[in-house]
A and B are shown apart, each in its own frame.
Chain A
Amino acid sequence: MTDDEEFFAWLDGELDDDKAAEVEARVRASSELTARAAEHRKLASGLQTAFGLVIESGAPPPSFQSAAVVDFGARAAGREPRPAAFGMPQWAAMAATLALGLLVGNLASRGTYSPVAVDGDHLIAAASLDRSLDTALASAPSEAGVRIGLTFRNAKGGICRSFQDRSVSGLACHDGRQWRIEGLFQGAEGQSQDYRMAAGHDPRLAQLLSQTIAGEPFDEAQERAARDRGWR
């Protein structure tokens, strides 16, 4: 170990007591070494503070056992939903596209009630989901159990809201006229009452949120003000 390495090992608390006392005495006796110790302590704490921001950003962990793309065709046929293709860079968007494709294909035979509807070539919120997106605040569950998670603006300035309706979670963005569905994900069994999903704890939804959000999520006052302005 060079003197340098020994100095840093002392700084990092890696030396045994005897050796540490020896280095400490040496550092105390030298104003140059004392200043150097202070500089390096400052450097270490500066790095920890800077990278600490990554931890504070609180991005949710991916979930594996519970990840499954909603597959409406298979569900209608009574088969199990297939597991999501996982880990590809755009996997969340791909999964959403797949789910929406299957959903659209299946809507015609869905019968009367659906929380989504087809408008031209895209999906929009309908019925209780549409009403909840229009009126509900994140702090209060709305009618029919629809819960709102985050509200925020996307890069185009449109307002988006994540939601959970029973075991399905998703993201809708207001286009000035209606809520367009940007993603829809089936949760695992037993997660249906788990409100955290709407806040982005489903990894696929979380990925979609992080791709869509521009700036910070709305706080309660901003959310209320946006509702009062008709989500424009």
Chain B
Amino acid sequence: MPSMSFDAELAVVWPRLRRFAHALARNPADADDLAQMAAEKAFKSFNQFQPGTKFDSWMFRICRTVWIDMTRSGTRRAAHEAPAEAAEAIGFDPRPATEAAIDLKIAMAAMQELPEEQREVVALILVDGFGYREAAEILDQPIGTVSSRLARGRQALLVMLGEG
């Protein structure tokens, strides 16, 4: 892929990738680890990327795979011995200094309450704005499955977040 720079492609999708990671992961430190690891994995397998297909979908698919691996193997930050300050290596200020920061904490906490298969669908479609078909392709699931998980996920979120 001589005409395509991985760094340039990644730079475009990176903000969305981090947001996706925050929607999946349990805290900002895990989310940043996840985005970082997904980027690394994608870089290593960039020769498998098909030119002409969508880089963002490919990147999100990799991120989701890494997330599943992290979840299954328990290699999230809390599960290994990280220095105390590492827990503070985060992309935003978690202290309730602003309304907005509270909102993100609450939104992340609510997402954590969803079963993983609903969380990933909500993260792709409601948070990122992927269409159902693209989300189904990223998740390698039938579109009907995606649509029913989305319905259940957003009902549950409305119960948790809707009263505000």
Contacts and interface: CB of A to CB of B under 8 A. Distances in A.
Whether A associates with B in a native complex is yes
Contacts of B19: 51-52, 54-55
A211 interface: yes
A87 B150 CA distance: 32
Contact of A64 (B43, B83, B155): B43
B89 A211 contact: yes
A42 B154 CA distance: 11
Contact of A9 (B43, B88, B100, B132): B132
- The secondary structure that dominates the B interface is helix
Interface of A: 1-2, 4-5, 8-9, 12, 14, 39-40, 42-44, 46-55, 57-66, 86-87, 89-90, 155, 207, 210-211, 214-216
Contacts of B92: 53-54, 57
23 contacts: A1-B144, A2-B148, A4-B155, A5-B148, A14-B132, A42-B162, A43-B158, A44-B126, A46-B103, A47-B126, A51-B23, A53-B103, A55-B15, A59-B91, A60-B14, A61-B7, A63-B7, A86-B40, A87-B36, A87-B39, A90-B86, A210-B32, A211-B89
Interface of B: 5-7, 10-11, 14-16, 18-19, 22-23, 31-33, 36-37, 39-40, 43, 77, 80, 82-83, 85-86, 88-93, 100-101, 103-104, 106-108, 122, 125-127, 129, 131-132, 144, 147-148, 150-151, 154-155, 157-158, 161-162, 164
B10 A5 contact: no
A174 to B, nearest CB: 18
